[in-house]
Amino acid sequence: MREIDSAINEHYQKVFLETDYLKLGSLQRSFEAAIRNQWITVTTPLGTNIKFTIGNRPVTKQDGDASSKRGQLRNLIDREIELPAGAIRVAPIEETVEGTIAFPNAMWNGLQVEDLVLTFLAGKVVTIKAKRGVEAVKAELETAGTAGHSFREFAMGFNPLLAIPEDKPWIPYYGYGAGVVRLSLGDNSELGGNVGGGYVRWNFFTDATVRVGQEVWVEDGKLLNK
């Protein structure tokens, strides 16, 4: 993501005005219907290979709907109407989350970490490996307690106007663009999950492939036409 400046502000205004909200909402509802009774699998070239199910968990659809009816929905996040619109968000059933997440290089506990891979079993981190900075990761997660060692949330962007630009790549608006995936750690209580503790860490993936059952929805960071 980039700091907000006049150019970014104008870009977001353009997206706000030009988004096809009916089409966006329809696509998000189709995705919710698809994932309700299927395994979701996320893979990346770096080595992410993680799967989970959502059961009856609420799926928050940021589709631009700010009607009074939306305020009656099932969790805190459903009451947050964001513009630009574009993402779905859900806390998977914690016990179903298993596999690996291979993270892009980033700062953890104030230090640079490279080639980090976390392995999950029943929604909890069971191994931590990194080429550089593994102690920084361990320190951050230990400080966070149970939340730090817990899978929080799956989020996926659907808005084509917020997709990653090919000429000068950057992540517009918190990954709400088509094909962007977030795999987050921490407290998911505001999403209807069972993990508390307050700690939250968002992690963005721009080259993920997302399968619902055997059906591919995102391939190498590109949302397929549905």
Rounded Cα–Cα distance for residues 64 and 112 (Å):
37
Please check whether residue 224 is in contact with residue 216, taking contact to mean a CB–CB distance below 8 angstroms.
Answer: yes
Local mean pLDDT, 10-residue blocks, the chain (226 residues): 74 94 96 97 98 96 84 75 94 98 97 98 98 98 98 98 90 95 97 97 97 97 88
pTM listed for this prediction: 0.94
Give the residues across from 117 on adjacent strands.
102, 129
| Residue partners of 95: CB distance under 8 A and separation at least 6 | 122, 123
Angle at 203 between CA 161 and CA 149, to 5 degrees: 150
Rounded Cα–Cα distance for residues 90 and 62 (Å):
11
The pLDDT value given to residue 71: 58
H-type helices in 37-124, by residue range?
none
Give the residues across from 98 on adjacent strands.
51
Rounded Cα–Cα distance for residues 113 and 76 (Å):
33
Which among 131, 133, 85 has a CA at the least distance from the CA of 108? 133
The pLDDT value given to residue 144: 98
Please check whether residue 221 is in contact with residue 180, taking contact to mean a CB–CB distance below 8 angstroms.
Answer: yes
